[in-house]
A and B are shown apart, each in its own frame.
Chain A
């Protein structure tokens, strides 16, 4: 290898290696942060889907709200989110105006500290929110 490519001190100096090492460690922390955020999104999505499914099988809209809240309460979100996960249930009636035959949407939100996502001290928090819509069983009573 020519002298110009190798540089004065060889292929890489210890200082350059140290920079590379620091970059790698920061990259690992960043990947951990992004990975945990993605995992939180997947978990909130799956919980919203299960909650919407449970709500769609309830005989009334009032019971649907309770069914969705029960699903979120029994999921891991109840312990992982700051102040518990938020649940909002909205529904669209059928063409006859009835609950049966309509559709129900459940929106689940979860606020987590940036510190718990990154693994090191980080200020602030972020909220992950997902919703899912399910058709209400036409023959549910």
Chain B
């Protein structure tokens, strides 16, 4: 009986975790897109893109987004990747992270 109860609670936490994961991924995806747009602008750079992505995460998810890592690759196509923890209960405990990548062509 106790084992079943623990299993049900774990399953319900899994549902909660799935919802928070997709929310986190959407927030990070938007931040990555914002960073890619800024970095790909004619007078933009990867440093600007990383700053814009970090600002976007802080603006929309400052309460829960911790240990956010933003990477940017310059070139003909600018790639910005944002990864960070999720607001769930299990995810952070297990070290699970959401990750999103966006690209934009560099303006010439």
Q: Give the B-binding residues of A (Cβ under 8 A).
A: 10, 12, 14, 17-18, 20-21, 24-25, 27-28, 31-32, 34-35, 38-39, 42-43, 46, 49-50, 53-54, 57, 67, 70-71, 74-76
Contact = CB atoms under 8 A, between A and B. Distances in A.
Given A27-B15, A43-B29, 16 more contacts: A14-B4, A17-B7, A18-B4, A24-B12, A25-B11, A27-B18, A28-B14, A34-B22, A39-B26, A39-B29, A43-B102, A46-B36, A50-B36, A53-B107, A70-B105, A74-B103
26 contacts: A12-B5, A14-B4, A17-B7, A18-B4, A20-B11, A21-B8, A24-B11, A31-B18, A31-B22, A32-B18, A38-B26, A39-B22, A39-B25, A39-B26, A42-B26, A42-B30, A42-B33, A46-B33, A46-B36, A50-B36, A50-B103, A50-B105, A53-B37, A54-B105, A67-B105, A76-B103
Q: Categorize the interface residue count of chain B.
A: 20 to 34
Given A27-B15, A28-B15, A74-B103, A35 B8 contact: no
